[in-house]
Amino acid sequence: MEKKFINLDTDFEHKDSVIVFSTKSMFKMCELMEGMKQAFKHQGLDELGKILSNRGGIPTWREMKDSWFKDGVPCEILKVNGNGWQKGKFRIKITLQFCPDKAEITQPESPLDDIRRMTNEVQS
């Protein structure tokens, strides 16, 4: 059985949710996401550039600033479907995902709920 990971929206819905890795390690989701972005921006892009340097490399953090994560870096993609080169922008999106150990149990609707609704409608 495959675990069901869900994406956590660290900009809105889950930004103030708290994650604990150990008793000494507790962060808001938005803090963890920002730390990951900063780490990747500064060391990650440089490391990726080194790995790909034998193929011409990539524009580095110093050259493109926030473009990798916001506006995108200009590029061209050659699609497999044969439509030729397509100009556009490429950006990196870091996503946090969570897989609960136990699925949330939702209370099934009681058969009496319909009777309660009808009673409330009659009384109104």
Judge whether 102 lies within some domain.
yes
Judge whether 14 lies within some domain.
yes
Judge whether 83 lies within some domain.
no
Question: What's the total number of domains in the chain?
Answer: 1
Low-confidence ranges of the chain (pLDDT < 70): 1-2, 61-62, 65, 103-108, 124
pLDDT at 97: 85
Q: Within 10 A of 33 (CB to CB), how many other CB atoms are there?
A: 19
Judge whether 70 lies within some domain.
no
pLDDT at 65: 67
Please name every residue paired with 96 in a beta bridge, in sequence order, or none if there are none. Answer: 8
Strands (E), the chain: 6-8, 18-22, 25-28, 73-78, 85-90, 96-98
Judge whether 31 lies within some domain.
yes
CA distance 27 to 39: 16
Please provide residue 34's backbone torsions phi and psi, each rounded to the nearest 5 degrees: -65, -40
pLDDT at 61: 62
pLDDT at 87: 92
pTM metric for this prediction: 0.59
Domain assignment of residue 42, given as a range: 6-58+94-123
pLDDT at 103: 67
Residue indicated by tokens 């340097």: 53
